[in-house]
Structure 1
Amino acid sequence: MKIAVFGGTGRVGSALIQMAIEQGHTVQALVRNKEKAQEQIPEATHIKGDATNLSDISATIEGCDLVFSSLGTDKTTTLTESTPKIIQAMKEAGTTRIVTIGTAGILNSRYEEGKYRFQSSESKRTKTFAAEEHLKSYLELASSTLNWTVICPTYLPDGEEEGNIRYEVNYLPEDGKKISTQDTARFALEVLENNTFHHSRLGICY
């Protein structure tokens, strides 16, 4: 498979690219800094550009079978600016499958019906900007005609693969506390490879 990647120099994105290359896939990644990308993900084809620019997004998706995005918020609106343009570029390219990394905050609250986790007592965060941005992105995907999956890890420390990943559709598995960046990347790659969990949010943790 040829995978278009957005957020490829981030923690999850760079891990997924390395795993995908090891599995024999090819990767085309949109990057802001080619020098940094060459150090982090040398095996990928680098497209220098901006994730909020439609032509750069289109150039990254061109010729690819699948799209993966681990774009974050980082106190910016990059995620919500890029999502509708990724959707547009995918439609124009005839590419339908996308897997993204969200946040556990946009999963359904298990105990407060009608609320997302970040709106409920399940969330310990006092600031909601990042969750709100991820929610807008998810709702854009959900209203599109694409075949999307949003993977929603809880607390995401750096760390090696441990395996024994638990997941649940639309909810965070009970007592889920954390999951490493490496296991998150592995899970996302398997969802891409196996073409599973269509039109779903997936809460993942140990």
Structure 2
Amino acid sequence: MRILILGMTGRVGSEIAKLALEDKHQVTALVRTPEKITSKDENLSVIKGDVTIKEDVERAMKDADAVISALNTDGGETLTESMPLIIEAMKAEGIKRIVTIGTAGILNSRVEDDVLRYQSSESKRKLTRAAEEHHKTYELLEASELDWTVVCPTYLPDGEAAGMYREKRNYLPEGGKKITVGDTAEFAYKQLDSDEYLKSRIGIAY
């Protein structure tokens, strides 16, 4: 499979890339700073560019079979600026499958009806800007014709994959407090070979 990974220089993105390369997939990474990528794997192609620039996204999307986005907000509007370009480029190339890393804040609240976790008393965060960015990105995917899955981890400490975690469609597993970067990457990567959670948000936690 030819996989385009966005956000490969981040914690989750780098782990997803490692898994894909171990399985001998062809991986393309679009990054602003290629020097941050130290892997010399023969199946890895690194393209210097910016996900908020249309031409860069189109160039990286060529010949891909699927897309994984582990982009974060970068404290700004990276997600909402890039997702329309990603969707448009995928449509132009005839690519349907995209898996993205979101946040547990955009899952449904268990304590208040018709709102998301970040909008409810369930969330302990005082700042909601990042969750709002993820929310808008989710809405863009939901309105698209793509086969999308948004993986929504809660508190995300560093750590290797244990392979033992809980998952729930549209909600955070009850009492879930954290999940490691390793397990988040493993779960997201596995979605490429699964249609169980197409067009769904999935909460994951221990």
Q: TM-score range by the shorter chain?
A: over 0.9
**Aligned partner of residue 99 in structure 1, secondary structure:** strand
Tell me which residue corresponds to 1:13: 13
Describe the superposition over 1:45-83 as per-residue Cα deviations: whole angstroms up to 9, x where unpaired.
101101101111111111010000011012111111000
- Residues 181-202 of structure 1 show CA distances to partners (whole Å, capped at 9, x for unaligned) of 0100000111112243110000
For the pair 1:159 / 2:159, whether they are aligned, the reply is yes
CA distance in 2, matches of 1:149, 1:117: 18
Structure 2 portions without partners, runs of 5+ = none
Residue number in structure 2 paired with 1:54: 54
- Does the residue aligned with 1:5 lie in a helix, a strand or coil? strand
Q: Percent identity?
A: 54
Aligned match of 2:140: 140
SS of the aligned residue for 2:152 comes to strand
Residue in 1 that maps onto 2:174: 174
State the SS of the aligned residue for 1:175. Answer: coil
Q: How many residues are paired up?
A: 204
The residue identity in structure 2 corresponding to 1:101 is I
The aligned amino acid for 1:100 is T
Corresponding position: 1:92 with 2:92: yes
| Counterpart residue number, 2:40 | 42
1:29 aligned counterpart, secondary structure: strand
Quick one: distance in 1 between partners of 2:191 and 2:122? 27
1-structure distance, mates of 2:196, 2:190:
9
Output the CA distance in 2 between the equivalents of 1:119 and 1:125.
Answer: 10
TM-score when normalising by structure 2: 0.97
Deviations 1:156-184 (A, max 9, x none): 01001122111000000000000000100
Between the aligned partners of 2:40 and 2:111, the Cα distance in structure 1 is: 45
**Aligned match of 2:28:** 28
Q: Which residue number corresponds to residue 196 of structure 2?
A: 196
Instruction: Say which SS state the counterpart of residue 136 (structure 1) adopts.
Output: helix
The runs of 4+ residues in structure 1 deviating greater than 6 Å are: none
Q: TM-score, normalised by structure 1?
A: 0.97
User: For the residues of structure 1 that align with 2:40 and 2:106, how far apart are their CA atoms?
Assistant: 33
Instruction: Provide the aligned C-alpha RMSD in A.
Output: 0.9
The residue aligned with 2:107 is 107
The code of the aligned residue for 1:65 comes to D
Q: Return the alpha-carbon distance in structure 2 between the equivalents of residues 20 and 195 of structure 1.
A: 18
Residue in 1 aligned with 2:129?
129
Distance in 2 (CA, whole Å) between partners of 1:79 and 1:149 is 15
Partner of residue 81, structure 1: 81
More deviation, 41-50/2-11? 41-50
